[in-house]
Chain A
């Protein structure tokens, strides 16, 4: 009995997925439950297992192609089974399922396909078996080189068994993306001397580079670097947000002298109790959660003709990772104590840096905090993490001379930047929201109220 493999729905909000790699070629036998392909969704690669045993007769959607969920992507059947009824109508582009669905209404043999599609659409979650949290299979040397190159292994296509990433895969990827070829040479070195031919060959690996590319990396022509799946996802989301939501950014300067003192005291107390410390971001998660509770329209999203007001604040934290940016979400931030926030934040940030976040850990945010203060930035205009309504940018904390009661004195000052979606809220309510955040960061004792 032929089985159609469809793009699985790997999370509640997933609408489309990108095939990143097929682990099997057409004509190869597959076992039910065996990893069949990897799918990129929300910047995470997930292994999808074969839903049935048989022979992978036809791959309908090639690598690096994005299709909506439930789109047929392959057919598994017995070696000699007739699968013509399951194949897309002749002439419809095999990797253009949006079009093929549209054309399917007219195509005479598209009816069988459409029926199966509908029958299977009912229970897509059951079929969506993932490889478990998206941990990347890689050999030790591949891991070490990725570490040294600051490269995200999840982005490297693996050629080994079950998609295992090998040294050759990393070197090819690094050469293709132009990522620190010098680093590859260094990484190739082994304690015993190695033939000098290899590193040089890697340096010349970028196919578009001129043959005259110097080993030192001085290139006379511009280098073309294919973007990684993560970069593509970031590009799409940022473009969509920036050109869909009319952004307005408000800034205000807050006197955080007291917050600095409180943070220092909490940090010490947490460490004394065996914690790993409290960061400013943790405090602002608490502050934002409090302010969002009072300003529900900032904790909302626009959906068609309705604004959906979320009953709880799920706060995302922008985390820089090698080659990109991830936003893990601290769920129900308003109900968590500062230590619980700190613990969650630490776990999520570490998972993000290791590339081990699950899609669900990056989903369902209602508000985002982005912190560039550590990089010496005063103020900036963050882009909203759609479909959320607002994002808070944290600047650096600087001691400045300010006037208090007619006296010049030194205070710790910080600029807060709030970008909001003007479709959902207007300037005044957004300003009131930001003023409350500033107020709470100036007088953190108010958090106790």
Chain B
């Protein structure tokens, strides 16, 4: 299968959906001729024109608000928010308008819109351009939140989001834009609300999203050399959450680590841990469920500190080792 980058996969999804459905259009800051801050929309204005690839003023409230209005009257807008940090400015439109309308109009209104936005640290962009704010929007009933980790899912989830009749926030990761992976040329979508088991294992479940998925897979590879078999789950969708896949995995392994880049306090790791311990998986737990998350600080500008502020491969390896130390596996072949 051909391999393309995550950014190319997003672009393909946008182009394919715009060709398929004339109601789909894009709006955002510098997404036209400039191609967006990360080059994701490069070339689209040439194909679809300025009416469907709209450069906007620097106002996230206006971008998201315009998208909500367009969606309510039957369009299918895809808004780009240049850095997910700026979602805070458009949050009123997203939280108080987009998320509420279907409910408040008794199901008579639909808000089929998508907000795409690059998130995360690792680019030296400092505290105001490096945050991971997905938990803010996961908390709002009426919003869907996805965070693809691979080019395949970046394309498939975005297409599913565009076709969804509810507002969907898509968190893309800046560090993933240049990563390559297999993407089918045939038409496909990735269902929202379904996690993927990226690697099967027996001993410990690592629950991750976004950039933490490749890190977890590398950690799992190293752990395998030590005889620790880690199962890596890529949640893909944060809301709705595929609790079933997580619970089944923890029932099998009896140990779990939740890894995310957002800082730990009130991060979604707590939600996943709560989901695990409330479920039947409780009776299978053989060690505490760990949260491995960013430090509770604004992301530092200093590159070393920036790296130290979020979980790295070594941290994932160490967390899994700790769980194995605390509760040995049942030894095959009897006891010493």
**Using a CB–CB distance below 8 Å, which chain A residues touch chain B?**
139-142, 144, 159-161, 164, 166-168, 171-172, 175-176, 188, 190-192, 194-195, 197-198, 201-202, 204-207
Contacts and interface: CB of A to CB of B under 8 A. Distances in A.
A12 to B, nearest CB: 37
A139 B334 contact: no
A139 B287 contact: yes
A204 B330 CA distance: 13
Interface in B281-336: 282-287, 326-335
Contacts of A160: 287, 326-327
Given A142-B286, A204-B334, A195 B202 contact: yes
Contacts of B326: 160-161, 164, 166
A206 B334 CA distance: 7
Interface stretch (B68-76, B207-215, B246-254): B246-254
Contacts of B202: 195
> Size range of the interface on B?
20 to 34
Contact of B248 (A140, A142, A171, A191): A191
A141 B283 contact: yes
B284 A141 contact: yes
B332 A139 contact: no
A176 B332 contact: no
**A-B pairs with lowest CB-CB distance, top 8:** A166-B327, A205-B334, A144-B283, A140-B285, A172-B335, A201-B332, A167-B286, A168-B328
B327 A192 contact: no
B251 A140 contact: no
A340 to B, nearest CB: 37
Contacts of B92: none
B280 interface: yes
Contacts of A142: 286
Contact of A166 (B251, B280, B328): B328
A166 B284 contact: no
A175 B334 CA distance: 8
B335 A166 contact: no
B234 to A, nearest CB: 18
17 contacts: A140-B284, A140-B286, A144-B283, A160-B327, A161-B326, A166-B326, A167-B286, A167-B330, A168-B329, A168-B331, A172-B335, A190-B251, A190-B252, A197-B332, A201-B331, A202-B334, A204-B334
Contacts of B280: 191
Give chain B's interface secondary structure class. Answer: loop
A144 B280 CA distance: 11
Interface in B241-293: 248-249, 251-252, 254, 280, 282-287
Contacts of B285: 139-141
A166 to B, nearest CB: 4
Contacts of B284: 140-141, 144, 190
Contact of A205 (B248, B252, B328, B335): B335
B287 to A, nearest CB: 6
A202 B330 contact: yes
A285 to B, nearest CB: 37
Given A190-B252, A191-B248, A207-B335, A140 B282 contact: yes
Nearest to B329: A168
Given A139-B327, A167-B330, 12 more contacts: A140-B284, A141-B254, A160-B327, A166-B327, A168-B328, A171-B330, A190-B284, A201-B331, A201-B334, A202-B334, A205-B334, A205-B335
B4 to A, nearest CB: 34
B335 A159 contact: no
A52 B147 CA distance: 51
B207 to A, nearest CB: 16
A168 B334 contact: no
Contacts of B249: 192
A167 B334 contact: no
Nearest to B335: A172
A198 to B, nearest CB: 6
B243 to A, nearest CB: 14
A204 B287 CA distance: 25
B244 to A, nearest CB: 10
A190 B281 CA distance: 9
A218 to B, nearest CB: 18
Given A161-B326, A201-B334, A166 B252 contact: no
A175 B248 CA distance: 27
A11 to B, nearest CB: 31
A225 to B, nearest CB: 14
Contacts of A198: 330, 332
A207 B332 contact: no
A191 B251 contact: yes
Contact of B334 (A140, A195, A207): A207
B327 A168 contact: yes
Contacts of B282: 140
B251 A139 contact: no
Nearest to A140: B285
Contact of A168 (B248, B251, B330, B333): B330
A176 to B, nearest CB: 7
Contacts of A176: 335
Contacts of A207: 334-335
A197 B334 CA distance: 11
A172 B334 CA distance: 8
B251 A192 contact: yes
B237 to A, nearest CB: 21
A412 to B, nearest CB: 44
Nearest to B283: A144
A205 B332 CA distance: 9
Given A176-B335, A191-B248, A159 B286 contact: no
B5 to A, nearest CB: 35
Contacts of A202: 330, 334
A21 to B, nearest CB: 15
A172 to B, nearest CB: 4
A133 B328 CA distance: 27
